[in-house]
Amino acid sequence: MDKWSGKVAVVTGASVGIGEAIVEKLVGHGMKVVGCARNEEKLKQIALKVNGKGPGEMFPFKCDVTNETCILEMFQYVKKTFGSMHVMVNNAGLAFEAPVTSGKTQEWKTMLDTNVLGLSICTREAVQLMRESGVDDGHIINIGSVAGHKVGDKSMYAGTKFAVRALTEGLRLELREAKSHIRSTSVSPGYVATEFAYRLYTGEPERADRLYNQMECLKAGDVADTVIYALSAPPHVDINEIIIRPVEQLG
């Protein structure tokens, strides 16, 4: 990870869970990390926790990835403040219980806007900024889900995560066609003990408790470690896809 010390990363969904853990790991390895999310106060609390305790630094930025204007403003901030960037971690994501046969259109739209379009816009802007600033060894990391490998009872959510895998591979092909050395990685976690299930089952915390108590789930730091693993690969190695599950998880 020494090569990334002093370099710039952007992490979406940085206010909780996996995103927060990724920010902490990257700052610990000396990176300048723009952590974005809608909850600005939580971002500031994380910055207070991590800044000054490691070689890197976190820069909080309020951003709603379902709003393209907000995303473009964030990348303008990155360009104006640092002049370039080197790592993009698309971590923001959410799910609703919204089946294809009976789900609410707005919930479908929110999942697609967050999990697919927001990720795509951030990827486009990150790659363009890397190219403009002469960065040819950057890295785009998309946090997906095992739901993007096997359709379960949340088919619309699974559809967005299948899309993440397709977009990551499509990005790789586009970069290779352009003779770029920017790399791309999809990370697909299984059950991770975070706020995710409590948000999914709003008003029914006992359902989230049952999910997380049925086995020893992954921790947010476990997923963050896979990001570090991908970033630590030698320049000639492109780690395209990682699946990480709890040992006891079946599907």
Return the pLDDT at 251.
82
Instruction: Evaluate whether residue 100 is within a structural domain.
Output: yes
Mean pLDDT confidence for 153-175: 97
% of residues, the chain, pLDDT over 90: 98
The string of pLDDT tens digits covering residues 184-195 is: 999 999 999 999
Cα angle 166-62-17, degrees, rounded to a multiple of 5: 60
Whole-number average pLDDT of the chain: 97
| Residue of 77, 157, 198, 201 marked active site | 157
Return the pLDDT at 229.
98
Return the pLDDT at 106.
98
The string of pLDDT tens digits covering residues 39-78 is: 999 999 999 999 998 899 999 999 999 999 999 999 999 9
Structural domain for 107, as ranges: 2-243
Global pTM exceeds 0.95:
yes
Q: Is the pLDDT of residue 119 over 90?
A: yes
User: Which of 20-29, 112-121, 200-209, 217-226 comes out lowest in average pLDDT?
Assistant: 200-209
Mean pLDDT confidence for 12-39: 98
With b for 16 or more beta-carbon neighbours within 10 A and e for fewer, the 170-206 pattern comes to ebbeebeeeebebbbbbbbbbbbbbebbbebbeeeee
Who's near 118: CB < 8 A, 6+ residues apart?
Answer: 12, 65, 66, 71, 90, 92
Q: Is the pLDDT of residue 152 over 90?
A: no
User: Which of 3-7, 52-56, 105-109 comes out lowest in average pLDDT?
Assistant: 52-56
Task: Note the helical H segments in the chain.
Answer: 17-28, 40-50, 68-82, 105-112, 119-132, 155-177, 196-200, 205-213, 220-231
| CATH code for position 35 | 3.40.50.720
3-state secondary structure of 9: strand
Q: Is the pLDDT of residue 143 over 90?
A: yes
Cβ neighbour number for residue 103 with a 10 Å cutoff: 17
**How many domains in the chain?**
1
Task: Note the helical H segments in 146-204.
Answer: 155-177, 196-200
Instruction: Evaluate whether residue 187 is within a structural domain.
Output: yes
Instruction: Evaluate whether residue 249 is within a structural domain.
Output: no
Instruction: Evaluate whether residue 251 is within a structural domain.
Output: no
Who's near 42: CB < 8 A, 6+ residues apart?
Answer: 15, 16
Does the active-site annotation cover 191? no
Return the pLDDT at 53.
87
Using DSSP bridges, classify how beta strands 183-189 and 241-244 pair: parallel, antiparallel or unpaired: parallel
Q: Which of 236, 142, 127, 138 is CA-nearest to residue 183?
A: 138
Instruction: Evaluate whether residue 248 is within a structural domain.
Output: no
Q: Is the pLDDT of residue 110 over 90?
A: yes
Return the pLDDT at 67.
98
Who's near 231: CB < 8 A, 6+ residues apart?
Answer: 1, 4, 87, 139, 141
Return the pLDDT at 250.
92
Instruction: Evaluate whether residue 250 is within a structural domain.
Output: no
What is the number of H-type helices and E-type strands within the chain?
9, 7
Q: What span, in angstroms and rounded, lies between the C-alpha atoms of 22 and 221?
A: 7
